[in-house]
Amino acid sequence: MIPVKLRDLQRQDKTAVMAMLQDSRVMRFLGPRRALTEDEADSWFENALDNPSRFAIAQSDTDEFIGFCGIKEIEGVLDFGYFIRSEFWGNGIVVRASRLALERLSAEIDTESVQVFIADDNVASKRVAQKLGWQVTHNGTKDGEYGGYYRIVL
């Protein structure tokens, strides 16, 4: 098991973040639903440094950047999300990072007001929600995709 921690995004994470944002498998359910161009990824990274929202996930022992997890305000709605580098998929990292993030955020934010949308095709994220004990409140569409809206259970 890879030990993880949450921290702020750092300048030295840029190479790993750029590679992740340009990975079509990672970006399949995020943003424009495609890998970002180098210029788009660079702009995204600089914006994330200047306007932090979600936590950076890193390996506890090496501090290597793994991905992001937490809450970001999108068009006035608090959205819980996560995405990690594809080479770290399948290790339970997102479940552990989500628990850490929600533990930190629950003192500041009413989790009932947080939106979690998972597209029906996003089988891995549906498994994460199941492991976390989250429940579908209703089905609907977001960004042209059909899926479920989940309630965060702490």
CATH code for the domain of 14: 3.40.630.30
pLDDT score of 26: 97
* Tens of pLDDT, residues 2-40: 999 999 999 999 999 999 999 999 999 998 999 999 999
Q: Read off the pTM.
A: 0.95
The answer to whether residue 81 is domain-embedded is yes
**Given this model, what pLDDT does residue 31 score?**
86
Please give the backbone phi and psi of residue 111, each rounded to the nearest 5 degrees, phi first: -65, -20
Q: Is residue 150 part of a domain?
A: no
Nearest to 66 by CA among 95, 40, 46: 95
CB 114 within 8 A of CB 152: yes
**How many domains would you assign to the chain?**
1
CA–CA–CA angle 81, 34, 40 (5° rounding): 85
Residue 120 pLDDT more than 90?
Answer: yes
Interatomic CA distance for residues 95 and 77, integer angstroms? 22
Rounded Cα gap, residues 70 and 85, in angstroms: 16
Q: DSSP alpha helices (H): ranges in 31-85?
A: 38-50
Residue with tokens 């973040």: 17
Boundaries of domain holding 31: 4-111
How far apart CA 110 and CA 11 sit, in angstroms, is 31
